[in-house]
Structure 1
């Protein structure tokens, strides 16, 4: 079996590649810059862009992991014509027109499909790394926003399982971590995992906006999500455990895998 992994150098894609290699399948990785991909030597790394798909990208491919970016219809059509039989998408639990278009295009292709929809990536907490490393503090608004961060390895494991095994066709898997934690509790969990005392300095939205350096439209989006999570905590879903047969990884476990980023 040969599986094409798009977004193979990304936060989740690298883990998808590793898990497929562990399972013993042949992996082709699609990337714009093969020279800097830094993937394992057994991976077939090819230069390409889904916005300009070629038939050669999909030649000999049985199944595909599709990162939702841009308009995928042309790529999906070429994949189908080349003999690809199954597509597993990575989209998002957050409503987004591009993600919805990707899912719909895959469903309309007539191929086997599974959609992976993670919520908040635990990897987003790397935004706190510099403050924790230099001051032992996280400075953000909405300390009591309750979230359910999901480890990127769990996302990749669900995707790899859906690619490798039958029984997942037509399924949409919404993924979360195994615990609902306030932002303050997330900071404390990171501190516990990396052996540092980490405090949370709650800023007002305006204070954070003026110091974050984030574009206004992104700041508005994040502030809205965080404010909502203070009123309605993000739910804890059992999907990771249901699919993998083991519990999802906690924020503390995630931080232990990223100690070098915080120390």
Structure 2
């Protein structure tokens, strides 16, 4: 049995579908099973939201891992690690971040701190682990969806020339699938990116083409960027995140062949992602 945390998220949902299609038994952990809308073949279970005081308690968090040997773990669900270990889980595939790059990273960055802490917990746990360290998510472009759905054609954002190599969420799920089902990934660190660099302005152009709209990126000064442009970013992290975005201007992003090497299929472009997500930009 494979447990998937964050099963209703972009990556978790794609992974559940992939594992079921491969014939693997899946336990999907979610905060609200009644609204999860996951495939019938998944064993959908409510994920405990508090730290397990007693992982051996049969009515507590450990019970969600009964019969589970492998886990796909979001860093935000790290409080479940003791329960997973107590229940006999052997291998954890962690969704980490490419911001961790030994010798070339900033250990004070809040995203680094969160993921590095969980990586160390796994190293210390005695469990087999695989770290997936994706770069920019293509789904970050959904931050523009409210403006586009509202009918705007001038789309506000920061750093028009910022370059990333955004990765399709299903490509991350495809690598996670192989790490969970195949041998040889124990102890591995997989850095994941999309296949090409694209600017923020060109992302808007690609979304416009996919949706049949003539969209234009309008650069907003970072000092004027706030909750309207970054509704899901905690206020205390926004300034540091904006500085990270500033560093992408004029700096070619890391591009890795990892997706194709592991899955046998080339990573999808941002243009393909935009085509796959046209419905997200329509009312």
1:218 matched to 2:237? The reply is: yes
Q: CA RMSD in A?
A: 1.9
Instruction: Tell me: CA distance 1:58–1:216, structure 2 relative to 1, closer, same or farther (3 Å).
Output: closer
Contact kept, 8 Å, 2:171 with 2:259, in 1: the verdict is yes
Q: Distance in 1 between matches of 2:113 and 2:255?
A: 25
Q: 2:87 aligns with which of 71, 76, 82?
A: 82
Instruction: Tell me: CA distance 1:86–1:17, structure 2 relative to 1, closer, same or farther (3 Å).
Output: same
User: Scaled by the length of structure 1, what TM-score is found?
Assistant: 0.91
- Point out the more displaced range, 17-26 or 95-104: 95-104
1:165 matched to 2:199? The reply is: no
Determine the structure 1 residue equivalent to 2:270: 251
1:200 matched to 2:217? The reply is: yes
Listed as ranges, the gaps of 5+ residues in structure 1 are: none
Counting only pairs closer than 5 Å after superposition, residues 230-249 of structure 1 correspond to structure 2 as 230-249=249-268
Contact kept, 8 Å, 2:143 with 2:230, in 1: the verdict is no
1:261 matched to 2:280? The reply is: yes
- Point out the more displaced range, 145-154 or 109-118: 109-118
Counting only pairs closer than 5 Å after superposition, residues 123-162 of structure 1 correspond to structure 2 as 123-133=139-149, 134-162=151-179
1:210 is displaced (CA, Å) by 8.5
1:130 is displaced (CA, Å) by 2.4
Query: How many residues align structurally?
Result: 260
Determine the structure 2 residue equivalent to 1:64: 71
1:55 matched to 2:62? The reply is: yes
Determine the structure 2 residue equivalent to 1:94: 99
Listed as ranges, the gaps of 5+ residues in structure 2 are: 53-60, 101-111
Instruction: Tell me: CA distance 1:183–1:260, structure 2 relative to 1, closer, same or farther (3 Å).
Output: same
1:152 is displaced (CA, Å) by 0.5
1:71 is displaced (CA, Å) by 4.6
Determine the structure 2 residue equivalent to 1:186: 203
1:48 is displaced (CA, Å) by 2.5
1:209 is displaced (CA, Å) by 4.1
Q: Distance in 1 between matches of 2:235 and 2:27?
A: 38
Stretches (4+) displaced over 4 A:
213-216
Instruction: Tell me: CA distance 1:213–1:30, structure 2 relative to 1, closer, same or farther (3 Å).
Output: closer
Q: Distance in 1 between matches of 2:98 and 2:189?
A: 10
1:107 matched to 2:94? The reply is: no
Q: Distance in 2 between matches of 1:161 and 1:63?
A: 12
Q: Distance in 2 between matches of 1:242 and 1:213?
A: 34
Instruction: Tell me: CA distance 1:62–1:70, structure 2 relative to 1, closer, same or farther (3 Å).
Output: closer
Q: Distance in 1 between matches of 2:126 and 2:43?
A: 27
What SS does the aligned partner of 1:69 have? helix
1:52 is displaced (CA, Å) by 3.4
